[in-house]
Amino acid sequence: GIEHLRKEVDTSKSILVVTGAGAIIRVVSIVVLRAERSDGSVFMQVGKWEGSVVKGALQLPGAKQEAGELVPETLDRIFATKLTFLEGKLEVLGTARENEEKESKEFGVQTRYLRSICSARLLADVALDMHVCVEKPGEEGRLRDIGEDVMHLSSSYGRSFHLMQRALQETQIYAAPTGTQSGNLYAWVAADRLSLLSSSGAEKVMTSWLSGLALPNPVMIPEQACEYDYELECTLSLVV
């Protein structure tokens, strides 16, 4: 609540402004990365894990911009803390900006989100040094079982599920640990599948699919400056 908001303002992750009408608006600046390969696929975070719990969600990687920080500096911080495996492997092409105003679910106050979307392209002949996830033994039928569970729903949903099923089975998932038993899951997602995998019901299907993948063994990871931010995750999920 209020204490959390005060801490956020004190750490320069947001500011509060008063309008001419006397209303208070919280302002948050967010920088996200939209990286593409030569085939048009977009680099997306598709989920995360904490211990044995896996959650699927399609979003662009990003971070809140701190006070006095320029967009290129925030992007450098994203590479240094979240996307070390991409550092030096992308050509940054430009930045587009978009604004949105709505009530923050976390703080319950009207908030203006200022997004800087940095476009980039993967350099030619570059490979990512990341753990590639494969299905756990005995989990090969997981998506088929989910499909049987939704067959009683509308035929349109059933068709959407089978499209999601095919999209996931054809997408290579990468794991990037952020702690001893936690991390983020990424993938190059075909541009024509972004809407499908961010549509209604997709998060549940993705969570079930990702839960059947073998994740890296627990490893020692240096402490990183990228603590979990619920509101940031909700905001990034809207940017595709």
pLDDT of 7-31, one tens digit each? 878 777 788 888 888 888 888 899 9
Rounded to 5°, the CA angle 53-41-200 comes to: 50
pLDDT over 50 at 226, yes or no: no
Sign of CA dihedral 131, 191, 121, 77: negative
The CA–CA distances, whole Å, from 152 to 157, 168, 232 equal: 10, 22, 35
pTM: 0.79
Contact yes or no for 186/172 (Cβ under 8 A): no
The reported pLDDT for the residue numbered 232 is 60
Bigger pLDDT: 170 vs 158 = 170
Q: What is the pLDDT of residue 225?
A: 39
